[in-house]
Chains A and B, each alone.
Chain A
Amino acid sequence: MIRFTAIRMVEIAVMLALMSLAIYGLIGLMPGDPIDLMMSANPHLGSADLARLKALYGVDQPLLHRYLAWAQAALGGDLGYSRLFSAPVAATLLPRLGNSLVLMGASFVLAFALALGLGIAAARRPRSWLDRAINFGCFAGVSLPTFWLALILILVFAAGLGWLPASGSATAGDGDLADRLRHLVLPVAVLTIASLGGYTRYVRAAMQDALAQDHIRTARAKGASEARVVWHHALRSALVPITTILALSFGTLVSGALVTEEMFAYPGMGKLIFDAVMGNDYNLALAALLLATAVTMAANLAADLAYAWLDPRVSYR
């Protein structure tokens, strides 16, 4: 188990290193050069200043040199300075990461709990009207454009009824817990609805397979109550495939969070990445993208470990 975890950690580190190199190379290809911007902002700068600025920021060096210098500083904990926020990158990232984890965590727990209820209800009576209705609902959920759903909810609950705030994570100057929770309601609702359809379909499929297994018949034959058969015997074996698929869908959750945060101007990682890429804030974009990838990979690793814990037949040596 320890060996398996160690190998996976090394893999994740290698993946992140490769991705950082790839993203570093790609980011230089985005429109707008920070030095050009400085030059055009100040008419007194001449070509000698251009060369000096390039040397100062190190952009006269070859790409690989610049990357290695960045990597060395990053490993030492220095992620550089954000042009957009005029603050160190690390200080900008961490509060945003916290906000995003709150949003994604709440949506994930809510969507998973609802999916368990709906998926099990559907799997217990295949082809009943309830199963069909839930199945149709799932298709509707996965086919709904997230940003459109957000737009409609803002229109109805924020602009129309005025019940809930449409943007941000707290009212300026207020920001107590109740206020923060009110700001979370709409984004969490959107992200939950966006993930619910897929999750419910996974749960339904896994539960249907689990309920068809021999040990379920044995449990019923020895007189276990229906509730115990479903929630104890079947769910236990269904949780194994469910964990795997949910782990793979964590990247989708991050993607959904980006769109949701952008729609609700929620100060999380997704909006930060979007703003950094759009605003040519290279240092910030690079660090934020790597952090989002690292969080996703860590979640996948956690799911692999949960998989072994849930299924005693699986052992990672």
Chain B
Amino acid sequence: MRLPLALLAAIALASLAAPLIAALLGADPAAVDLLDRFAGPSAAHPLGTDELGRDMLLRLLEGGRVSLTIGIAAAATAAALGAAVGLVAGYLGGWADRMLMRLTDGVIALPLMPLLIVFAALDLEKLGISARVTELPVINLLRIVGLTVLVGWTTSARLVRSATLVTRQRDFVRAAQSLGAGTPHILWRHILPNVLGPLVVATTLSVGDIILLESVLSFLGLGVQPPLASWGSMLSNAQEVIASAPLLAVYPGAMIFLTVIACNLLGDALLRQFDSRDRTRT
């Protein structure tokens, strides 16, 4: 658990501190230097330069900031939505449970990538939103967050539902019920705190899944748009010059891989932790 956590923390801190590192190196990640394209590693550019002569290391860190922001924001939103679905389905049971779980299984079973491409290609201007708004970087980010939430909420819905099914049988929940507590109160004060474990696991796992999904969408040209760049959109640019500069395609992919595997290993370690704690308690 320590290694993936340390790796994630290192990537996140370095990405957040990108402006600081840029200042230390005395370089600007957006500075174009056409005379110094495809340069190899040097003291000024530790990982060399890209097709426009921009510093690769700083570009990677900037890309990480975008990828991680989307990953964390979307995972948190998806977790909240999934938790709401899981709590209601697990606690109410019966008809509501059947409908909600049918919906969850339905979403999981759909061919999501083709459908996401349709959603990603939608023209917001045809919905009556002005071009000035749709071209804002914030809208670009929100749009990707929205797309990934559409598919990302199912993991937490399932995990929270099964944890809720167990928790609602516990004595303190029955006590609260017999004291006449309302359903929202029981869900919020008694059930939610006891399903936080699985929720944390689901969120950690989704951060990885969402970063992968965002990278695919951006690679296909449907995700992060210039002036912003994520690891996925950097790979999309690198693909065009892959014959002359293969390393440009290796770095961003390696960053995605390291971040996602760290999230997955951390989620798995957390899952084991909560599992063994549950076992010793009962």
Contact = CB atoms under 8 A, between A and B. Distances in A.
B126 A251 contact: no
Query: Which interface residue of A139, A248, A288 has the most chain B CB atoms within 10 A?
Result: A139
Contacts of A142: 264
A251 B109 contact: yes
B253 A296 contact: no
A262 interface: yes
Binding site of A, secondary structure by majority: helix, strand, loop or mixed? helix
Interface in B123-169: 123, 125-127
Interface string B68-110: 0000000000000000000000000000000000000110111
A144 B265 CA distance: 13
B257 A289 contact: no
Contacts of A28: 126
B20 interface: no
A159 B216 contact: no
A148 B235 contact: yes
Contacts of B264: 139, 142-143
A243 interface: no
Given A29-B123, A251-B108, A292-B111, A152 B250 contact: yes
Contacts of A248: 105, 108-109
A296 B110 contact: yes
Binding site of B, secondary structure by majority: helix, strand, loop or mixed? helix
B270 to A, nearest CB: 14
A27 interface: yes
A190 B208 CA distance: 20
Contact of A139 (B215, B246, B268): B268
Contacts of A139: 261, 264-265, 268
Interface stretch (A86-94, A271-279, A306-314): A271-279
Interface in B160-187: none
Interface of B: 105-106, 108-115, 117-119, 121-123, 125-127, 208, 212, 215-216, 219-220, 232, 235, 239, 242-243, 246, 249-250, 253, 256-257, 260-261, 263-265, 268
Interface of A: 15, 23, 26-32, 139-140, 142-148, 151-152, 155, 159, 247-248, 250-252, 254-256, 258-259, 262, 270, 273-274, 277-278, 285, 288-289, 292-293, 296-297, 300
23 contacts: A23-B118, A27-B118, A32-B123, A139-B264, A140-B257, A143-B264, A145-B215, A145-B219, A145-B253, A147-B216, A147-B219, A148-B235, A151-B253, A152-B249, A159-B243, A248-B105, A251-B108, A251-B109, A256-B113, A274-B114, A274-B117, A289-B115, A296-B110
